[in-house]
Amino acid sequence: MADIAYADWFRFAMRHFHQAGNRRLVELFSGPGALAMIAEQQGFEVFRLDNSRHALGKEGRRILAEATALPLKADCFAGLLAANASINYLADDKALAAHFAECAAILCHGGAYVFDFCPTERAYGLHAHHFTALEGQVTFSHRFSPADQELMSAVKIHSGDGQIVTELHRQCIFTPIEVRAAAVAAGFEVREEAENYGLPFSGDNAPMVAMVLVKP
């Protein structure tokens, strides 16, 4: 959303992109490509990938695909990015494993996948909370089921013409141990793990966790 410090997020990721001469990145689960726009301004060649044609918008290099079946060339990209706890939208641990295997396949050796996710502590804190973003244009209401490790979010989007669109988002909440195990099983090394991508955090709930995976 608009209050995320995307520029700071990208600076955190940049420390891990060391492929000399390779400036190709993919923003996964991209939506309109907030990170892609920042990366392009810094001279990267960026592909936006999402499973929603509407969310992708009309700008940049766009790929309509699922994150568990990436239609991209193997050993081709220096870096992958995924913000907004996007991996939590994967259906289950099998989908998470498939996603990491696909990511490992398309990265160059030494390439990095930088992403964030919602840990269990944050999901507990979000339960029964309601808040707004984008100056009241978007409203969120959350319900967390510990038994299912599932966070359900009702999102109301207020359009300029007075219409309200309601979306129901389901997120599967993985523990850091589960994420690390799935990454290692896919052949990654876990290079770094940091709350809120190492940035200052003052929210009421636990912060997002950022993780850096490197293909050896």
Nearest to 46 by CA among 8, 13, 89, 2: 13
Question: What pLDDT is attached to residue 134?
Answer: 59
Please give the structure tokens belonging to residue 169. Answer: 């988002």
What does the domain layout of the chain look like in residue ranges?
6-119+173-214, 122-171
**Given this model, what pLDDT does residue 211 score?**
97
* Sequence-ordered list of residues with C-beta below 8 angstroms from that of 182, at least 6 positions apart, any chain: 93, 96, 97, 100, 174
CATH code for the structural domain at 6-119+173-214: 3.40.50.150
Which candidate, 80, 109, 149, 82, places its Cα nearest to that of 19?
Answer: 109
Task: Look at residue 99 in the predicted model and tell me its pLDDT.
Answer: 98
pLDDT tens per residue, the chain (216 residues)?
445 688 999 999 999 987 667 899 999 999 888 899 999 999 999 999 999 887 887 888 899 999 999 999 999 999 999 998 999 999 999 999 999 999 999 999 999 999 999 999 999 998 988 877 656 677 888 999 999 999 998 888 776 677 877 888 899 999 999 999 999 999 999 999 999 888 888 777 889 999 999 999
Q: Report the pLDDT value the prediction gives residue 19, as an integer from 0 to 100.
A: 65
Could you tell me which CATH class the domain 122-171 is placed in?
Answer: mainly beta
Amino acid at 158: H
Which residue is listed with tokens 């160059």? 108
pTM: 0.90
